[in-house]
Chain A
Amino acid sequence: MKNKGLTKVDLIFESIDVRKVMNKAFEMTSDEIIEQILESGLKGRGGAGFPTGLKWKYTAAEKDPDKFIVCNADEGEPGTFKDREILDKVSSKVYAGMAIAGKAMGATKGFIYLRGEYRFLLPQLYVELHKFHKLINEIGYDFSIEYRMGSGAYICGEESALFESIEGFRGEPRNKPPYPTVSGLFAKPTSINNVETLVTAVMIIEKGPQEYVKLGTKDSRGSKVFSISGDTPIPGIFELELGMTVQEFVNEFGDGDTKAVQVGGASGFCVPRKKFGETIIGFEGVPTGGSMKLFNSSRSMYNVLHNYLEFFTEESCGQCTPCRVGCQQLLLGIEKVKKGDSKSTYLNELVKLADTMKVASKCGLGQSVGNAFKSIVENFREEIIY
């Protein structure tokens, strides 16, 4: 397969005239805004990758006069820290994205759910929000935004758990359907979008979708902000065009001894060295919310997996049995195999358990534990056993 190579991009953090882009959007009809986002091929930047234009379209189609736009800033995936940087550097673009989304779907009220770990940012975010409210008032458009804080629960990044949390309940995911576009926050039609998605939408309106589709591949349009950490000489935040291979990524960011890259955080996939060349970073290969962790040959993949499973065991909301018990048993299971209390073939049983969790768990947390589990066990089996 022909691939794009590694190209650095500067869209998300580019400074723009926020008033101008909002004016441009407010002169368009709702349908025109949605059409442009659909044309751009933008998929959600939080990791799940649902087409943003469709989300807005479905919410717009609902008849209820009360609708909400919610910005998901509960960035909790291990290895992800780009949303904090975006809010820190260009929060006015996040606010503008919410207003434009609001215009597209007929919502006049927005909420930003910010993880408790980022509370230190709030004073400065409020200063920017105040300026934004003043600006939108001058433009003469009816739209306002409020912050809601998380309190240290990874699961609240799941959209329906996030609604529960804003409504004052335990952050336990809801059954779907109904989907948020029909019945979301306070049972009203809601579009919930990641911080980066909203800023990307602003840039699509600013540059035009024709310009945006020049970046990326057919399945993964555009660029993406990556959070890069682990064994790399240059950890940090980089905006890159989608469509590169893991090999090209490692050539740029590796320390010369990279044996594995965990793409998409603890709920993502582990790519071993032998598959670097064939694996595309994007929706056609390994999808990611931006978390890229590099591991060199000094690291034990058993420790990596153990750390992830401890994380999930603690962060599972405990509501559904496959996830609550499954996470615990996977963790206990690899400990037993490591100690020699169970035969190495027990790993096969654990893989079956991970498969069961994928189909039987209620939400994305339990459904994705198997991603890291299986890709680490299958590629680094000997490190788990010995």
Chain B
Amino acid sequence: MYHIGNMVKELAEKYGRKRESLMPILQDIVKKYNYLTDDAMVAVATELDISAAEVYGTASFYTFLDTEERGKNIIRVCKTITCSMKGKNDIISTLEDILKIKVGETTPDKMFTLLETNCIGWCHKAPAILINDMPYTDLTPETVIDVVKGYMR
């Protein structure tokens, strides 16, 4: 468990304490800690003087504002039609093999979470994945291993 209170205060100073500050604050917390803990959402609610249910309600609407525990590196494999046609399943099974987890799971060392996601806008270079913010495209089962290995240390 991390000490979130100070960070939330700093973010509120940076973005303000209005309702419109909520998204940037939540986005920055996720950027740093990969997901939103209950404590984090309560701290944000207190700081912005809104109910925790409002914070959870907003966060849970957005796919990238995870409210479940996530690893340090979140791998999102695009599953929309072109990536699906161009070998998404091979990418998934390769990732499942090397990380020894299934889609939706996090490695025991909390280094990786493997997820599927909807179209990320790289259809012309399918199959594509996002690792955190970075896109990787034109992947093959061989190249995706190299990409993920780069995140292993």
Contacts and interface: CB of A to CB of B under 8 A. Distances in A.
A228 B57 CA distance: 37
Given A120-B135, A307-B84, A229 B126 contact: yes
B153 interface: no
B27 A151 contact: yes
7 contacts: A76-B121, A79-B82, A79-B123, A84-B121, A150-B62, A168-B20, A230-B81
Interface residues of B, number: 37
Contact of A81 (B79, B85, B117, B123): B123
Contacts of B119: 76-79, 154, 311
Contact of B124 (A154, A229, A311): A229
Contacts of A167: 19-20
B51 interface: no
Given A79-B123, A168-B23, A151 B118 contact: no
A117 interface: yes
A293 B119 CA distance: 13
Contacts of B122: 81
A118 interface: yes
A92 interface: no
A15 to B, nearest CB: 23
Contacts of B58: 168-170
Interface of A: 75-81, 84, 115-120, 148-154, 165-172, 186, 227-231, 235-237, 266, 293, 299, 303-304, 307-308, 311, 314-315, 317
Contacts of A308: 81
B99 interface: no
B118 A315 contact: yes
B118 A227 contact: no
Interface string B20-31: 111110110010
B126 to A, nearest CB: 7
Nearest to B121: A81
A253 to B, nearest CB: 11
Contacts of A169: 19, 58
B2 interface: no
Given A119-B133, A152-B117, A307-B80, 8 more contacts: A78-B81, A79-B119, A151-B27, A151-B63, A151-B65, A169-B58, A293-B81, A293-B123
Contact of A118 (B117, B121, B126): B121
Residue from A75, A78, A150 whose CB has the most chain B CB atoms within 10 Å: A78
B125 A235 contact: yes
Contact of B82 (A148, A150, A229): A229
A311 B62 contact: no
Binding site secondary structure of chain A? mixed
Given A120-B133, A307-B84, A152 B124 contact: no
Contact of B118 (A78, A80, A171, A299): A78
Interface string B108-137: 000000000111111111100010011100
A75 B64 contact: no
Contacts of B100: none
A79 B126 CA distance: 11
A307 B22 contact: no
Contacts of A76: 118-119, 121
B62 A230 contact: no
Nearest to B30: A151
Contacts of A78: 80-82, 118-119, 123
Contacts of A303: 84
Given A79-B119, A168-B18, A169-B58, A153 B63 contact: yes
A168 B21 CA distance: 7
Contacts of B23: 148-149, 151, 165-166, 168
Interface in B58-102: 58, 61-65, 79-82, 84-85
B118 A314 contact: yes
A227 B57 contact: no
A228 B124 contact: yes
Contacts of B27: 116, 149, 151
B103 to A, nearest CB: 14
A170 B61 contact: yes
Contacts of B130: 117
Contacts of B18: 168
A299 B85 CA distance: 8
Contact of B134 (A80, A120, A311): A120
A283 B81 CA distance: 25
Q: Which 7 residue pairs are nearest across A and B when measured between Cβ atoms? A: A152-B63, A229-B123, A235-B124, A151-B62, A152-B64, A168-B22, A170-B61
